[in-house]
Amino acid sequence: NIGSKGRMMLFGGRYADTNYFNDCYLLDLSLGYECWTKLSFKSCPSGRYGQSMIFSPQDNQTILFGGYDGKNYLNDTWIFNTSSTDPVELLSFSGTFTGNVIKLNWSTATETNNLGFEIQRSIDQVKFDVIGFVNGNGTTSAAKNYIFIDRDFNQGIYYYRLKQIDFDGSYYFSDLIQVVINIPEEFTLQQNYPNPFNVSTTLKYQLPKESEVRMNVYDTRGRLVEALFAGRQAAGYYHYIWSGCNLPSGVYAIRLEAGGQQAIRKCILIK
């Protein structure tokens, strides 16, 4: 147990008396569920099992001694300094759903050789997808604030974590946070982005209930120039990437119809 944080470090092991491992994992129970993180160190003990490990709360260190590697009984000693394992002191990490986007905010107190942060997302706390990267500030003793916007989502629960990466390739994971996205309360067609746009732009809309949906593009004379979508969709959040490669530059209107309601947004195509 590392301090009073409800965390446990696990190291090494063997398989079928032929394979001896030196992987190091952190089991975090402080979040109310099991969260496993593989730790990365610049130097690490050789593969073994049967070693002794003890935590020193006074020094905030985990001490490893001995073990067996399949051929020899070992007598080396290793110290994992859990207070200095992470070169970035993370002050906070939070996520909110606001303005029809998921906004992630985090702050650091100090940074050492920080290349940046890989943003990872999961829907089951097991498989994580990389959805972005934010550059770090190298080495600094000044507090820094970061922000990342996630625009691609639907209703449900999303789990996020930061993978902080050093210049030498070492990496460390933050704790998980979760953001809950409920079913939309109203019918909305957002302004496309980017706007003006060159060739392609993203259209986002939300449906409070299952509906027959039609989305079309009209020119300034009200003529239909392109039918984008027609079909039935469940309640939720949607996005559509429209390519205007077959149309000339100009002002166009996007009309969305669903459940007896309609919304119109003007957009500008520049080639």
Boundary of a domain, candidates 22, 50, 81 = 81
Confidence of residue 1 (pLDDT cuts 50, 70, 90): very low
Residue 196 confidence (pLDDT) above 70 = yes
Q: In this structure, is residue 96 part of a structural domain?
A: yes
Cα–Cα distances (Å) from 82 to 8, 58, 247, 264, in that order, read 11, 12, 59, 56
In terms of residue numbers, what domain contains 36?
7-81
pLDDT at 257: 97
pLDDT at 3: 46
- 125 DSSP assignment: S
Q: In this structure, is residue 1 part of a structural domain?
A: no
What is the CB-side half-sphere exposure of residue 59 using CA atoms within 13 A?
Answer: 9
Mean pLDDT within 193-197: 94
- Distance, first Cα to last Cα, the chain: 61
Q: In this structure, is residue 118 part of a structural domain?
A: yes
pLDDT at 175: 85
Token pair for residue 247?
């149309």
Mean pLDDT within 214-225: 96
Range of weakest confidence among 19-23, 80-84, 247-251: 80-84
Please write the tens of the pLDDT for every residue from 56-102: 766 667 888 899 888 889 989 888 765 545 678 899 999 999 877 89
**Separation of CA 238 from chain center:** 20
Q: Kindly report the average pLDDT of the chain as a whole number.
A: 87
pLDDT at 4: 45
Boundary of a domain, candidates 122, 147, 181 = 181
Query: How many distinct structural domains can be found in the chain?
Result: 3
Q: In this structure, is residue 251 part of a structural domain?
A: yes
Q: Does residue 192 share a domain with residue 156?
A: no
Q: Does residue 149 share a domain with residue 75?
A: no
